[in-house]
Amino acid sequence: MSELVQAHAVHRDDFGARLGMWLFLVTEMVLFGGLFIAYSYMRSTYPADFHHAGAELNATLGVTNTLVLLTSSLTVALSIVAIQRGDRLKSMAFLSASLLLGLTFLAIKATEWAAKFHHGLYPNAPHLATLPHGEQVFFGLYFTMTGLHGLHVIIGLGVLTYMLIQVARGRICQDRYVQLENAGLYWHLVDVIWIFLLPLFYLAA
């Protein structure tokens, strides 16, 4: 009897864990979905202003950041493959690469934001208030959406760091890696959302 209880106490359900993660990703998509609704409504209201405001953004930096983030997704996927093959060190190396790429993304993002602040293009800035309504809304949305995305990147970096520790301690190993897979799913979601943000803002001009 007590053995049965024990067996159920250590009961694991990797499929269930992944299902839970996918459901969580659905909530994340709906969360951003609210912002995408706001964006599409505002853009259809002020198409010309969005076109002008989009020209203020640096498309080169935007595309660079996209490549950085896509590469980081690849390295996360490779770290999962590595752990499946039992190669702990390789898995840790790929995870570290993802962390570095994530930090690079944030650094580029920070320089972009700093430039916008420098040009007085931030909410409540006196200069922004002189621009047409549509451009004000554009930058309101820009800071909200890239800001919320950036927050997800920061959370993702925290999660990946934790995964790195778990792999190092052997808690994630060849026959027990669903945690890492779920962390990877989250990181891919962050990536996918950015892929939508890029054309909506940087390529709006």
Partner 1 sequence: MSTQNTTLPPSYLVDTGSRKGLLAWLTSTDHKRIGLLYLGSMLTFFFVAVGLGLVMRLVQISPFEHLITAETYNALFTVHGVIMVFLFVVPGLPAVFGNFFLPILIGAKDVAFPRLNLASWYFYMAGATVVIIALFTGHGAPDTGWTFYVPFSLHTGTNVSLAVFGAFLLGFSSMLTGINFITTIHRLRAPGMRWFRMPLFCWALYSTAWVQILATPILAITLVLVILERVFGIGIFDPTKGGDPLLYEHLFWIYSHPAVYIMILPAMGAITEILPTFARRPVFGYKAIAYSSMAIAGVGSLVWAHHMFTSGLSQVAVMIFSLLTMIVAVPSAIKVFNWVSTLYKGSIDFQPPLLFALTFIFLFCIGGLTGVMLGALAVNVHVHDTYFVVGHFHYVMFGGTGMAFFAALLYWFPKMFGKMYSKKAIYASWFPIFIGFNMLYFTMLVLGVMGMPRRYFHHLPRFDTGHDIATVGSWILVLGLLMFFGTLVHALFKGEKAEDNPWGGVTLEWTIPSPPPQENFEEIPTITTEAYHFPQEEIG
> Hey, which residues between 87 and 126 contact partner 1 (CB under 8 A)?
123-124
Q: What angle do CA 127, 128, 134 make, to 5 degrees?
A: 150
Told to check if 129 binds partner 1 by CB under 8 A, we report yes
Told to check if 44 binds partner 1 by CB under 8 A, we report no
Quick count: other Cβ atoms within 10 Å of Cβ 158? 10
Nearer to partner 1, 19 or 100 (CB): 19
What is the secondary structure of 128-153 as a DSSP string? HHHS-HHHHHHHHHHHHHHHHHHHHH
Report yes or no: 43 and 203 within 8 Å, Cβ to Cβ.
Answer: no
> Hey, which residues between 19 and 38 contact partner 1 (CB under 8 A)?
19-20, 23-24, 26-28, 30-35, 37-38
Nearer to partner 1, 24 or 103 (CB): 24
Report yes or no: 94 and 78 within 8 Å, Cβ to Cβ.
Answer: yes
Q: What is the binding site for partner 1 (CB under 8 A)?
A: 1, 4-5, 8, 13, 15-16, 19-20, 23-24, 26-28, 30-35, 37-38, 41-42, 45-46, 49, 123-124, 129, 132-134, 136-137, 140-141, 143-144, 148
